[in-house]
C-alpha cells in the first residue's frame, strides 16, 4: 500500500500542493500534520509508523517534510528498511526500493553531514581567530536581571515546599531552568556565608 505523509509547519500554511502530489503518486492513505518539523510530538507521524506493514511504501513530497533533521531522517528510513517498507521522496527523486535510490539517499545524507562538519570547522576557526585577537564569544556568564528575579521566586516557592515540577508548570519554565535557578540561589547563599 502507498502511504503518504504531508506536513506543514504552521496551521495557516496549506497542504494542498503536497496532497495533490501524493494523490498523483497513487497514495491510498495520507497522514496530514500541521506542526513544526522540530517538534518531537507529531501524532500523525507516530500513527503512520504504527500502521506500516511489510511491502508498504511511504511517500513524501520532499525529504524535509518527514524528518526533523538529518539524523532523524536516517533513523526513519532505517526503521522503514527493518519493516521491509520502501521510501519515496517525489521532489528529491529518491526511491529506496531501488539500489540507485538507496545510493542517492545515502549520498544526500553524506553531503549534508559533510556540510555540517564544514560549518563546524569554520565556526571553530572563527572562534580561534577571535580568541587570538583577545575577543571572547558566547553568552555572558551569569543570569540576566529578569532571570535573577525569577530565580528568587523559584527559591521562595521551593523553600515553601513546592516541587520542581509544580514550580516549572506554574512559572512556565523548564525543569532544567528551575534547577539552574535553585542552584544559582544556593550558590549566592553559600558565597554570602563564606564572606
User: Higher-confidence residue: 14 or 59?
Assistant: 59
3-state DSSP helix/strand/coil % of the chain, to nearest 5: 55, 10, 30
Does residue 75 register a pLDDT over 80? yes
Q: What is the pLDDT of residues 55-69, one digit of tens each?
A: 999 999 998 888 777
Interstrand relation of 94-95 and 86-89 (parallel, antiparallel or unpaired): antiparallel
Report if pTM > 0.85.
Answer: no
Q: Which residues are catalytic?
A: 9
Rounded mean pLDDT, 165-172: 90
Each residue's pLDDT tens digit, 99-141: 888 888 788 778 777 877 888 899 899 888 888 888 876 666 7
- CATH code 1.10.10 for 145-187: yes
Domain at 2-96: CATH architecture: 3-Layer(aba) Sandwich (3.40)
Q: Where in the chain is the domain with CATH 1.10.10?
A: 145-187
Amino acid at each position: 500500500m502507498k502511504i503518504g505523509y504531508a506536513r506543514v509547519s504552521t496551521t495557516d500554511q496549506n497542504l494542498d500542493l503536497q496532497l495533490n502530489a501524493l494523490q498523483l503518486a497513487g497514495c491510498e492513505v495520507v497522514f496530514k500534520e500541521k506542526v513544526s518539523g522540530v517538534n518531537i510530538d507529531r501524532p500523525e507521524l507516530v500513527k503512520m509508523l504504527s500502521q506500516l506493514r511489510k511491502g508498504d511504501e511511504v511517500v513524501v513530497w520532499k525529504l524535509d517534510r518527514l524528518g526533523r533533521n538529518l539524523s532523524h531522517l536516517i533513523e526513519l528510513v532505517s526503521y522503514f528498511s527493518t519493516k521491509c517498507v520502501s521510501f519515496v521522496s517525489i521532489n528529491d527523486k529518491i526511491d529506496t526500493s531501488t539500489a540507485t535510490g538507496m545510493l542517492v539517499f545515502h549520498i544526500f545524507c553524506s553531503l549534508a553531514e559533510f556540510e555540517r562538519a564544514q560549518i563546524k570547522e569554520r565556526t571553530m576557526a572563527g572562534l580561534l581567530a577571535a580568541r587570538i585577537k583577545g575577543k571572547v564569544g558566547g553568552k555572558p556568564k551569569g543570569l540576566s536581571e529578569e532571570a535573577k528575579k525569577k530565580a528568587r521566586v523559584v527559591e521562595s516557592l521551593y523553600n515553601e515546599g513546592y516541587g520542581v515540577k509544580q514550580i516549572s508548570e506554574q512559572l512556565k519554565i523548564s525543569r532544567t531552568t528551575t534547577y539552574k535557578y535553585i542552584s544559582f540561589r544556593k550558590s549566592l547563599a553559600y558565597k554570602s556565608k563564606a564572606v
